[in-house]
């Protein structure tokens, strides 16, 4: 009897232990499955966040870039500018290096192809608005440039300190070509400061100047209408106290500044409506203020040959544009500089020149029009990633 009782007790103990082990296993498995679902959910969210980041940084979706072009024949983006300082330097370089086959670079570099056209020259701009020089890159030349731009424009350079003015290698004949363009103009009469408003469908609280129904006629009279097809398709010119004309063209048509300008002139020639601003007409323009710098890495490595067939290699090319516009008038300042040094094989006059073609060609060129054409244009875009 005692033996049977003992067996029954052991059986109950065994069943109790088995139940405890089973419940413990179920609890552990449930916890494991719950944690797995949580990790899977977190990973899914992380993947979603990663995909969102990739979507947000697609190059084609970046709309705030800024492009600087040197000629009116080069394609522009939504926001672009040009000025003639790089072109003036290129024109002088072609004169100083007459043995160079500049045309041979055109098939590889669009910037060379467009600069070689020399569509803008110093004759298209009054002498009082530009300064240029070139020579050996010495401290004496740097001091001379700083002194003369101070005397002519009361301006200082923003780029000269970026260059190495020491001559470490006596075999190198380091050169620099430098240009500054500076203009400040005033409207014939000050415009009114208008209420802040929208710009397109994206931007709010933009500062404007112009005329409204309370503006005096003397302010209206400084505006000439080139053409007016609708409130979204027109061009006007604002006269200044100098010989400068400020042209505003809404919704410009064309892929280059040259196309835009020619299309605008074509519309002007066809227009037969009223070219005066009447009492009921209104005008407003946004204030503008920007300061941009561009390094033309496409030009690095180009070999130039002087009269003695000595080889010079471009090692730096920089251009800056500062532009501001408000109810009183505007100001533009642009600098450009190209530095170069003699090639190590320049003493081998009988050898064919080597051409170091650069494959990375940005659609980034600079150019300004002067007397016969506009000398500045801008559609603001920012390209800041260089090699």
* DSSP letter for each residue of 285-346: EE-EEEEEEEE-GGGTT-EEE-TT--EEEEEEEEEEEEEEE-SSEEEEEEEEEEEEEE-TTT
Mean pLDDT rounded to a whole number for the chain: 79
Q: Is 227 helix (H, G, I), strand (E, B) or coil?
A: strand
Question: Alpha-carbon distance 78 to 294, whole Å?
Answer: 17
Question: Is the per-residue pLDDT at 283 higher than 50?
Answer: yes
Does residue 105 register a pLDDT over 80? yes
Give the pLDDT confidence score for residue 386 in this predicted structure.
31
Specify the residue for token string 């009361």. 154
Which range, 8-12, 86-90, 161-165, 294-298, has the best average confidence (pLDDT)? 86-90
Q: How far apart are CA 344 and CA 327, in angstroms?
A: 55
pLDDT in tens, 224-261: 999 999 998 999 999 999 989 999 999 999 999 999 99
The stretch 63-82 carries a mean pLDDT of 81
Whether 35 shows a pLDDT value over 90: the answer reads no
Percent of the chain with pLDDT over 70: 70
Per-residue confidence (pLDDT) for residue 39, from 0 to 100: 42
Tell me which of 115 and 360 has the higher pLDDT.
Answer: 115
> Residue 188's pLDDT is what?
97
Q: What is the pLDDT of residue 18?
A: 61
Residue 50 has pLDDT above 60, yes or no: no
pLDDT at 26: 62
pTM of the shown model: 0.71
pLDDT score at 20: 64
At 77, the pLDDT band (50, 70, 90 cuts) reads confident
Q: Per-residue pLDDT averaged across 338-358, rounded?
A: 54
Greatest mean pLDDT range, 14-18, 21-25, 237-241: 237-241
Span of 99-108, 262-271, 362-371 with lowest mean pLDDT: 362-371
pLDDT at 119: 92
CA–CA dist 225, 246 (Å, integer): 12
Residue 342: pLDDT band by 50, 70, 90 thresholds? Answer: confident
127, 182 in Cβ contact below 8 A? no
Q: How far apart are alpha carbons 45 and 40 in whole angstroms?
A: 9
Residue 343's pLDDT is what?
A: 66
> What is the three-class DSSP state of 135?
strand
With bands split at pLDDT 50, 70 and 90, how would you rate the model's confidence at 63?
A: very low
Give the dihedral sign, CA 132/65/364/329. negative
**Contact criterion met (CB below 8 Å) for 301 and 356:** yes
Higher pLDDT, 329 or 171: 329
Residue with tokens 């003015």: 165
Q: For a pLDDT cut of 90, what percent of the chain falls above it?
A: 54
pLDDT of amino acid 27: 61
Mean pLDDT of 16-29: 62
pLDDT at residue 205, rounded to an integer = 92
d(CA 182, CA 383): 23
């Amino acid at each position: 009897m005692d033996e049977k009782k003992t067996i029954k007790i052991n059986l109950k103990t065994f069943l109790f232990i088995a139940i405890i082990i089973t419940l413990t296993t179920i609890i552990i498995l449930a916890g494991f499955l719950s944690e797995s679902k949580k990790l899977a959910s977190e990973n899914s969210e992380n993947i979603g966040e990663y995909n969102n980041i990739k979507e947000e940084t697609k190059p084609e979706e970046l709309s705030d870039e800024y492009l600087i072009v040197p000629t009116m024949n080069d394609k522009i983006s939504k926001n672009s500018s040009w000025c003639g300082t790089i072109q003036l330097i290129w024109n002088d370089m072609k004169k100083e290096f007459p043995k160079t086959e500049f045309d041979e670079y055109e098939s590889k570099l669009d910037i060379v192809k467009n600069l070689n056209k020399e569509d803008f020259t110093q004759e298209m701009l009054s002498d009082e608005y530009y300064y240029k020089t070139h020579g050996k890159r010495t401290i004496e030349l740097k001091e001379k440039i700083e002194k003369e731009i101070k005397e002519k424009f009361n301006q200082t350079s923003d780029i000269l300190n970026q260059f190495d003015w020491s001559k470490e290698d006596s075999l190198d004949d380091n050169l620099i070509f430098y240009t500054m363009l500076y203009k400040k103009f005033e409207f014939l009469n000050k415009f009114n400061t208008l209420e802040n408003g929208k710009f397109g469908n994206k931007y709010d609280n933009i500062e404007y100047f112009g005329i409204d129904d309370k503006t005096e006629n003397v302010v209206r009279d400084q505006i000439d209408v080139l053409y007016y097809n609708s409130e979204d398709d027109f061009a006007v010119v604002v006269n200044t106290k100098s010989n400068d004309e400020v042209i505003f063209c809404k919704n410009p048509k064309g892929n280059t500044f040259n196309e835009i300008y020619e299309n605008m002139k074509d519309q002007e020639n066809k227009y037969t409506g009223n070219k005066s601003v009447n009492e009921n007409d209104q005008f407003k323009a946004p204030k503008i203020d920007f300061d941009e710098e561009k390094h033309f890495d496409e030009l690095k490595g180009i070999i130039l040959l002087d009269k003695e067939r000595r080889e010079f290699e471009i090692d730096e090319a920089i251009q800056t544009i500062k532009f501001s516009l408000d109810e009183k008038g505007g100001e533009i300042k642009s600098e450009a500089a190209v530095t170069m040094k003699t090639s190590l094989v320049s003493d081998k006059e009988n050898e064919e020149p080597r051409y170091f073609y650069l494959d990375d060609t940005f659609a980034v060129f600079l150019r300004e029009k002067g007397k016969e054409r506009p000398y500045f244009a801008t559609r603001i875009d920012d390209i800041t990633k260089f090699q």
